[in-house]
A = this chain, B = another copy of it.
Amino acid sequence: MNAAAKPVRAKADNIAAYMHERGQRARTAARLIARADTGTKNAALFALAQAILDDADAILAANAQDLREGRNKKLDAALLERLELNRARVDAMADGVRQVAALADPVGEITDMKLRPSGIQVGHMRVPLGVVGIIYESRPNVTADAAALCLKSGNAAILRGGSEALRSNLAIARCLERALGDAGLPKDAVQILDITDRRAVTELVAMPEFVDVIIPRGGKGLVAAVSEAARVPVIKHLDGICHVYIDAAADLEKAVAVAVNAKTQRYGTCNTMETLLLDAAIAERVLPTLAEIYTEAGVELRGCARTRKLLPDAKAATEEDWRTEYLAPILAIRIVDGLDQAIDHIETYGSHHTDSIVTENLTHARRFLREVDSSSVMVNASTRFADGYEYGLGAEIGISTDKFHARGPVGLEGLTSLKWVVMGDGSVR
């Protein structure tokens, strides 16, 4: 029986045993979900979307209770905002699940079957990772979203949401349980933990025998804590200190368009530009225009000494500014002497997230793409494009700033791996 149906709180003294049992069940379910065909998985997803709509009232009631308790506990207003569901958000949740159903099934795809001199044919088959643990904070929509992505990619999942969203998450869990049951899939394929003790997380990230990868979704504190405790691989996203570099050979119109969009389209997102770099050769021609637009938009400017000669109203940027992810209408500006210094700045202060060059010079573009070691490198495009939907992944389980396995936006493919397939004809060595 799925714990979502009958929440049983684990006693403090047996959390390890409790989590191991959850892990064991996930491991068993993973075998079944891995071999489920596309039609079955999609049926479960459509059933989930429908169940969410059918249960909208119950979900909203549970959410209202979470919100009440959160307010009583004086939780942060931004957190409460993320926690809050309404009819439109519930509809969007169901919609998101249907969108995942519409994506191509990555599992079982066979590629690159090459004949070898020995007579065997060797290639790759895309397969699920196994059991994915997802640890997240307030937003209840992550529950539906993550469940759908894991299901579609043939993985079993253990979801651990924030304690402040427990009732909302368990209401969604009931939808999930029905949907999995209706489709004939094991209920343990997606388990939503009903245990709020922090030690559950410590156990979850340290069971390599049951969990293949952990994805933390939330603030820096959460990601750092999970990474520190993890005994299994973690797909994680830390800072997003993104740069736009306006090269000497930039087209001025493109430079303004990209630099304005990268900063002002949204301030709080990880792919927002935090530092603007300009080649000294072009700064004078482009900076005044940009400053005017930024100032009009209410963006505070902090510049290096050379910047402040052109923009006397800008504050002085400190070393600390180059290392800061503002997530706010603040922009650091530095004038550099050419491409090398720009790349050097990015490699020294950046966070390997997303960086863009504006240039018409092909050699500079190629060097920037090659030498900037970030999960997304761009030419003449706004850093705001670094996003699973914009990249055509259909959906995104997270953004990785790691180098191993997956970099940048992680979609269904990032939740899979490749195994080798060998076809012979009685072939021997």
Residues of A at under 8 Å CB distance from B? 31, 34-35, 108, 114, 116, 118, 120, 122, 125, 127, 129-130, 208, 212-213, 227, 233, 251, 253-255, 257-258, 260-262, 265, 347, 356, 358, 369-371, 373-382, 384-386, 390-392, 403-405, 407-409, 417-429
Contacts and interface: CB of A to CB of B under 8 A. Distances in A.
B380 A424 contact: yes
A380 B417 contact: no
A261 B120 CA distance: 14
Contacts of A257: 426, 428
Contacts of A265: 428-429
A411 to B, nearest CB: 12
A19 to B, nearest CB: 19
A360 B35 CA distance: 22
Contact of A254 (B212, B385, B426): B426
A428 B261 CA distance: 6
A257 B265 CA distance: 65
Contact of A425 (B129, B208, B254, B423): B254
Given A120-B390, A385-B429, A424-B378, A404 B253 contact: no
A35 B376 contact: no
Given A376-B421, A408-B420, 7 more contacts: A116-B391, A120-B381, A122-B392, A254-B425, A380-B423, A382-B429, A407-B419
Given A261-B428, A369-B125, A390-B116, A407 B420 contact: yes
24 contacts: A31-B347, A118-B390, A120-B385, A125-B369, A129-B404, A254-B425, A265-B429, A376-B420, A376-B421, A377-B421, A377-B422, A378-B421, A380-B424, A381-B423, A381-B427, A382-B427, A382-B428, A384-B428, A385-B427, A386-B422, A391-B420, A404-B404, A407-B417, A408-B420
Contact of A419 (B35, B227, B255, B408): B408
